[in-house]
Amino acid sequence: MLRIKTKAMSGYCTMAIIPARYGSQRLPGKPLLMIKGKSLIQRVCERVQQAKVIDHFCVATDDILIFNHVKKLGYDVVMTRYEQPSGTFRCAEVLSQFPMVTHVINVQGDEPLIDPLMIDYMATYMIHQSVLKIATLIHKIDDPAELTNPNVVKVVINRDSEAMYFSRQAVPYVRDFPVENWLEHGPYFKHIGMYAYTSQALFAIEKMNMHPYEAMEKLEQLTWLANGLSIHCLESPMESRGIDTEEDLREVTSMIAEMED
């Protein structure tokens, strides 16, 4: 059992959880891949450790190799059920063990370049939220190629910065103009895959059945929207870079090499 020493505002306890699944289809064992002498999951942990607003963090995994590796590195790690459908459900399983935690930051386990300031930004916003509240980060798109890339998730927001819809397609659609000119007609935002939830929201998500929109787009947040939850979108001047393919791994390795050499 992890022991959390809270340092946050009275009545609040914020925990960052890093889901780390072994069975990636495109990169099996992804959290254990080595980048310049350190594993991917180690690099993510080092970034999260630099965040100042969270009270504690841990890795949530389904694999004993990852569990033992993280334990050896000296970080807290929780074994979760293999059959969990997503990192969000893995976070909810961890949260069930810690009734003192009021807010959770779900940090993607495949983003070794995540800026700790992004985590603090989310945590600072969330500690003032209660009941069924979810937040996430978005970044303005300035490259037309990202509009047609299905791996770049787009989000449409309302005047209160709440998400209206997420899609792998370019949305909104601009009629009568070629897609390469769409950025001239209004702002487009991409989703940065880090979430923050109140504990109530996370437990509510755990009880939801998958909505057809999620099944179609393979985007879990569409189930949350379809069930009436609001997702507040915080615009960030920073962005991160996930590793989903061999090409991503090469490019991120090159970026880290430039930073550390």
Domains and CATH numbers, the chain: 14-260 (3.90.550.10)
Residue 10 confidence (pLDDT) = 58
Taking residue 74's Cβ as centre, other Cβ atoms within 10 Å add up to 7
Residue 195 confidence (pLDDT) = 96
Per-residue pLDDT of 88-99, as tens digits, reads: 999 999 999 999
The CA distances from residue 8 to 49, 74, 118, in Å, are: 15, 23, 17
How far apart CA 148 and CA 134 sit, in angstroms, is 27
- Kindly give the parts of the chain with pLDDT less than 50: 1, 6-9
Residue 27 confidence (pLDDT) = 83
The CA distances from residue 156 to 27, 49, 57, 153, 240, in Å, are: 30, 32, 31, 10, 20
Tell me the torsion sign for CA atoms 227, 232, 99, 87: positive
Per-residue pLDDT of 98-152, as tens digits, reads: 999 999 999 999 999 999 999 999 999 998 888 889 999 999 999 999 999 998 9
pTM: 0.91
User: Could you tell me which residues come within 8 angstroms of residue 47 by beta carbon, excluding any fewer than 6 positions away?
Assistant: 112, 113, 114, 115, 116, 119
Residue 33 confidence (pLDDT) = 93
